[in-house]
Chain A
Amino acid sequence: MSLVDKIYERAKALRAPPAPADDDAPALPTPLVPTDSVAGRSLVIVIAIMTFLAALAAGAALLVAQASVEWRSEASSEASVQLRPTQGRDMETDLKKAAEIVRKTDGIREAQIYTKAESEALLEPWLGHGLDLSELPTPRMIVVKIDPRTRPDLDSLRADLRAAVPSAVLDDHHVFMERLGEMARAVVSISAMIFILIVGAMGIAVASATRAAVATNREIVEVLHIVGAADTYIAHEFQRRFLALGLRGAVIGGSAAIGFFLLAQMLTRSWRATASGEQMEAMFGDFWIGAEGFLIILLLAGAIALLTGYLSQVTVFRHLRQLG
C-alpha cells in the first residue's frame, strides 16, 4: 500500500467517529466571495436609501388611500338640502316641509335644519364678523344624515323635494367624492410609479455592482472554475454575498422608514391642537399607517433583499456564460 493510500485510509478511519467540536474547522465557512469592500458598503448605502424611498412611496400611497376611504365614507354618510330665498314663499314653512319630506324617506337617519344664525355663521369666513346679514337673502340648509346600511333613493327624494319646494336643491356630495377618488387614485398611481422607478434604479445599481464585483474577484472566479466549481455554484456564491448586502441595506432603509412614520405620527399628535396640524390630520389622518403599513414595509424590505440576491445571481450567471 502506498503512502498516499495509507493517508487516505487513515483519513477515512478518522472520519468514522463524530467530528470533534474543537478548533478543527471554522464554525461557519468563510464566504467564497469577500463581503467587505468599499463597493459592498456603497451598495448597502444605495439599497438602504432606495428601500427608505420605496417605503415612503408605499406608506404615502397607503396613507392617502386610507384617508380617501375615510373622506368618502364621511361625505357619503351626509347630504344637504339647500333652500334659496324665493319671493312670495315663506322660508321657514318651506324648510319645515322639506325637512318633513326628507325625514319620511327610508334610509334617512336625521334631518337637521340649520337656524338662521347657524347659516349666517357659515358665511362668516367669507364676509367677516359683525355684519348684519338679516337684510341679505341668505340661503338656508338642512343637514341630512344618511344610514349607510340602507341608502335612500336620492333621485326620488330630489324629485319629491323639487315638487314640494321648487327652490330646494339636494346635494349628495357625489361630485366632491368623485374628485376625492380621482385625487386619491392619482396620488396612489404616482406613488406606484415612483416605487417602480426606485426598484428599477436599484436593479440597475445591483447589476452594475455585481458586474464590478465579478471583475474585482476575477481571480477567485478563475480558481473556482479550475477546482471544478460549476457556474451555478459560483453564481450562487455571489448571490449569497449580495443577499447579505441587500438584507443589510433593506433592514437599515426599512427601519429608517418605520422610524420616520412613527416620528411623523408622534409629531402630528403633538401638533393636533394647531390649525396647520388640524389641516394635516384632515388630509392624511394622524400619519398612522397601522400594523398593515408596517407589515408592508417589512415585506418590502425582505422583497428588496431577495430581489438584490436574485438580480446578482442572474447577472453573474449571464456574465459567466459570456466568459465561457
Chain B
Amino acid sequence: MLSFENVGLRYGVGPETLRDVNFEIAPRSFQFLTGPSGAGKTSLMRLIIMALRPTRGLINIFGRDSATLDKDEITEMRRRIGVVFQDFRLLDHLTLYENVALPLRVLGKEETSYRAEVTELLKWVGLGERKHSLPSVLSGGEKQRASIARALISQPKLLLADEPTGNVDPTLARRILRLFVELHKSGTAVVIATHDLSLMDQYDDARRLVLADGRLHIFE
C-alpha cells in the first residue's frame, strides 16, 4: 500500500530532518509512529499525504511512484487517505456537520446522499447534539472527535492521525483508540503518530515505528 525507500527530507539548506527512512505499510495494518518532539513525525505524515516532496528516495503509494504523479493524480490518491491533524484543521465558518461532510462534498456528491451517514457518524463520536455548532464554541476534545469523524467519513484505505489524543482526557483517549482499532478491523490501515506511551500500551498488537535523530526504527 505504501513504502518508503531511502527517503531523506531536508528543509532549505539545513541538516536532513529525515534520513534513509525505509518502511512499508501493509493494507489492514496498525502502527504507532512515535519519537520525541521534533523528531519528524509530522514531516513524515506530510510526506505520506504528498504535502511535501522528499529531497531524495522513493515513495510508492497505492502502487505508484509519488514523484511521477500529477496534481490530479495526487488529488485522487489523497481521497483514499483520511487525515486527523494535531491542530484539527476544522474550517471555522462551517458547522460541525459541514466540516465532517467536507470530503464527500468536495467529491461533488449531493448533500441528501450523505446526510444520514454524516449524522450517524457524528452521533457515534458523541457530537450528535452539536452538529450545527461552529468549531469556535467547541472544546479541544470535541474538535478532535469532529476531526476524526471527517477523516473517517469517506471510508479511507489509509488513516493517518497526528497526536489524536493530545487534547483529550484518558477516558476519551481510550474511546478514540477503540474507534481506530475498530476501523482497522474493518480493513483500514492505520498510522497513529503519538508520544503518549500509555496509549500505545493499550494496543500491544500494533507495530511501532520510532523516529529518532531523523532515522526510523521498526519494532514489530
Contact = CB atoms under 8 A, between A and B. Distances in A.
Interface of A: 2-5, 7-8, 10-12, 14-15, 19, 23-26, 29-30, 32, 34, 219-220, 222-231, 233, 321, 324
Contacts of B51: 222, 225-226
A285 B155 CA distance: 70
A25 B106 contact: no
A2 B112 CA distance: 26
Contact of B78 (A4, A5, A30, A228): A228
B178 to A, nearest CB: 8
Contacts of A321: 71
Given A3-B182, A19-B116, A227-B150, A29 B108 contact: no
B15 to A, nearest CB: 26
Nearest to A233: B106
Given A2-B182, A4-B182, A10-B120, A226 B78 contact: yes
B91 interface: yes
Given A7-B121, A24-B119, 10 more contacts: A5-B186, A24-B115, A223-B91, A224-B102, A225-B75, A226-B51, A226-B89, A227-B83, A227-B102, A228-B76
Given A2-B186, A3-B182, A15-B113, A29 B121 contact: no
Given A224-B106, A227-B150, A231-B71, A32 B121 contact: no
A4 B150 contact: no
B149 to A, nearest CB: 11
B20 to A, nearest CB: 27
Contact of B106 (A14, A222, A228): A228
A87 to B, nearest CB: 94
B116 A229 contact: no
Interface stretch (B30-38, B93-101, B202-210): B93-101
Contacts of A2: 182, 185-186
Instruction: Tell me if B's interface is mostly helix, strand, loop or mixed.
Output: helix
B217 interface: no
A227 B106 contact: yes
B121 A11 contact: yes
Interface string B103-117: 101111001110111
B75 A230 contact: yes
Contacts of A11: 116-117, 120-121
Interface residues of B, number: 41
Interface in B53-90: 71-72, 75-76, 78-79, 83, 89
A254 B34 CA distance: 61
B130 to A, nearest CB: 13
B71 A324 contact: yes
Contacts of A225: 51, 75, 78
A228 B98 contact: no
Contact of B132 (A8, A23, A226, A324): A23
A219 B115 CA distance: 25
Please indicate which of the listed interface residues B78, B116, B182 has the most CB atoms of chain A within 10 Å of its own CB.
Answer: B116
Nearest to B132: A23
B189 interface: no
B7 interface: no
B93 A30 contact: yes
B98 A26 contact: yes
Contacts of B91: 32, 220, 223
B97 A25 contact: yes
Contact of B49 (A8, A30, A226, A229): A226
Contacts of B9: none
A26 B101 CA distance: 12
B183 A19 contact: no
B104 to A, nearest CB: 9
B107 A15 contact: no
A8 B155 contact: yes
B154 interface: yes
A14 B120 contact: yes
Nearest to B156: A228
B71 A228 contact: no
Nearest to A10: B120
A231 B103 CA distance: 14
Nearest to A19: B112
Nearest to A31: B93
A228 B75 CA distance: 5
Given A23-B132, A220-B91, A226-B49, A7 B124 contact: yes
B162 to A, nearest CB: 12
A229 B115 contact: no
A228 to B, nearest CB: 4
Nearest to A27: B111
